[in-house]
């Protein structure tokens, strides 16, 4: 395949990050169509990305345009239907995190991609960030011995979109924001989740709380992995002070940390004696190379048939842990992480 022709489904903020990367910064890819139910958004996106066509639905695009792959960057509750539809049409699939609303949806996506023989990659871009990659390589090289305890923190600058406030449509912040942490802890430990315990609070956002009594914006989760590793995941949203994504791995022979807050190396010292640096304001800035890396990975996998470094099973495993955490919020006690069987050959690549 000479050039991978991509149909972007969802022209919101995350969708445009992928769209711009594919249109401009990934050799061998072009964005040829944009799907979004909002007419103005899809028109503007198509113009910016050099796409020759735009459509209100994926169905329309499948009928009217020629392309090889879809990038799905729509609300979580739409992922399953879109991915299954794309797979049946033989299109390769890049799908944003969280993968789906429940395990059945995720399994259906994995099965649809498997039977169609198409690539299915999930948007855990931290796995392509240089710092996270370096940390993982140091762990694999045995530099800190056995992982004993892993802490992963994500705080987002803004409120999640309104549909994510509603627990009927979303698993909330632990899914929409912290699924990155659930993926990272598992990836860095090289082990699967066994049990989680979650506590949450609604402390910041007034409106979502009023509309949805289950809404929360501060969370802390204890995680237990099969190899004995303990972990703690915490999240808060909006954090106001910027985008903060950090991980700390305590090993039997040392410590690794990734992702302190300052953005850039400018240090200002003021007359009142404050030594000031700038925090990252956005996930787009913090993970610029990570987003670019995952787009390149996807295009390469589509062209070569290679299995991507982040598969549907990786999406499923993170989702299973999120679901157990959501259950723990309600039950007030630790909950086991239910691990679903997948077809042989679909095991997560790490």
User: Which positions touch a copy of itself (CB under 8 A)?
Assistant: 24-25, 27, 130-131, 134-135, 138, 143-144, 146, 148-149, 151, 155, 197, 199-201, 203-204, 218-220, 222, 224, 228, 230-232, 234, 236, 239-242, 244, 250, 252-262, 264-271, 273-281, 332-334
CA-nearest of 153, 77, 102 to 324 is 102
Compare residues 39 and 143 and give the one whose CB is closer to a copy of itself. 143
Compare residues 24 and 210 and give the one whose CB is closer to a copy of itself. 24
120 to each of 67, 84, 114, how far by Cα in Å?
16, 11, 8
Q: How far is the CB of 90 from a copy of itself (least distance, A)?
A: 29
Question: From CA 98, how far away is CA 308, in angstroms rounded?
Answer: 17
Residue listed under structure tokens 């304001």: 281
Per-residue H/E/C for 36-87: CCCHHHHHHHHHHHCCCEEECCHHHHHHHCCCCEEEECCCHHHHHHHHHHHH
Question: From CA 9, how far away is CA 60, in angstroms rounded?
Answer: 12
Compare residues 104 and 143 and give the one whose CB is closer to a copy of itself. 143
Compare residues 305 and 332 and give the one whose CB is closer to a copy of itself. 332
Q: What 3-state DSSP class applies to 317?
A: helix
Q: What 3-state DSSP class applies to 152?
A: strand
Compare residues 41 and 138 and give the one whose CB is closer to a copy of itself. 138
* CA atoms within 13 Å, Cβ hemisphere of 294: 27
E-strand ranges in 126-241 read 147-155, 193-201, 218-225, 230-236
157 to each of 17, 154, 217, 241, 282, how far by Cα in Å?
17, 10, 12, 7, 7
Question: From CA 205, how far away is CA 288, in angstroms rounded?
Answer: 28
Rg value, the chain, Cα: 20
Q: How far is the CB of 346 from a copy of itself (least distance, A)?
A: 31
Compare residues 161 and 332 and give the one whose CB is closer to a copy of itself. 332
Question: From CA 111, how far away is CA 258, in angstroms rounded?
Answer: 35
Q: How far is the CB of 99 from a copy of itself (least distance, A)?
A: 26
Q: How far is the CB of 84 from a copy of itself (least distance, A)?
A: 34
Compare residues 96 and 294 and give the one whose CB is closer to a copy of itself. 294
Q: How far is the CB of 338 from a copy of itself (least distance, A)?
A: 18
Q: How far is the CB of 322 from a copy of itself (least distance, A)?
A: 17
Compare residues 38 and 281 and give the one whose CB is closer to a copy of itself. 281
Q: How far is the CB of 6 from a copy of itself (least distance, A)?
A: 17
């Amino acid at each position: 395949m000479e050039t991978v022709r991509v149909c972007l489904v969802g022209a919101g903020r995350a969708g445009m990050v992928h769209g711009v990367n594919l249109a401009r910064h990934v050799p061998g890819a072009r964005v040829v169509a944009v799907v979004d139910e909002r007419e103005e958004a899809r028109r503007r996106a198509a113009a910016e990305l050099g796409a020759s066509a735009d459509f209100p639905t994926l169905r329309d695009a499948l009928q009217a345009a020629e392309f090889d792959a879809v990038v799905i960057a729509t609300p979580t509750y739409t992922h399953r239907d879109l991915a299954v539809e794309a797979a049946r049409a033989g299109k390769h699939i890049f799908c944003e995190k969280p993968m789906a609303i429940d395990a059945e949806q995720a399994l259906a996506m994995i099965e649809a991609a498997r039977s169609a023989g198409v690539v299915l990659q999930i948007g855990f871009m931290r796995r392509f960030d240089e710092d996270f990659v370096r940390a993982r390589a140091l762990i694999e090289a045995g530099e800190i011995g056995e992982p004993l305890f892993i802490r992963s923190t994500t705080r987002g600058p803004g409120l999640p979109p309104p549909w994510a406030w509603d627990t009927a449509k979303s698993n909330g912040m632990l899914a929409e924001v912290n699924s990155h942490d659930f993926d990272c802890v598992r990836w860095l430990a090289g082990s699967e989740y066994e049990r989680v315990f979650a506590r949450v609070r609604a402390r910041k956002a007034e409106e979502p709380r009023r509309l949805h009594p289950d809404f929360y914006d501060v969370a802390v989760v204890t995680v237990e992995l099969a190899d004995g590793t303990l972990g703690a995941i915490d999240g808060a949203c909006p954090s106001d002070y910027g985008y903060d994504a950090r991980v700390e791995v305590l090993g039997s022979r040392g410590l690794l940390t990734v992702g302190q807050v300052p953005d850039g190396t400018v240090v200002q010292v003021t007359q009142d004696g404050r030594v000031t640096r700038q925090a990252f304001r956005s996930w787009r800035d913090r993970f610029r190379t990570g987003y670019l890396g995952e787009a390149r990975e996807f295009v390469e996998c589509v062209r070569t048939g290679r299995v991507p470094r982040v598969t549907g099973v990786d999406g499923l495993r993170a989702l299973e842990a999120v679901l157990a955490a959501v259950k723990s919020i309600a039950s007030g006690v630790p909950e086991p992480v239910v691990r679903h069987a997948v077809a042989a050959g679909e095991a997560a690549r790490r």
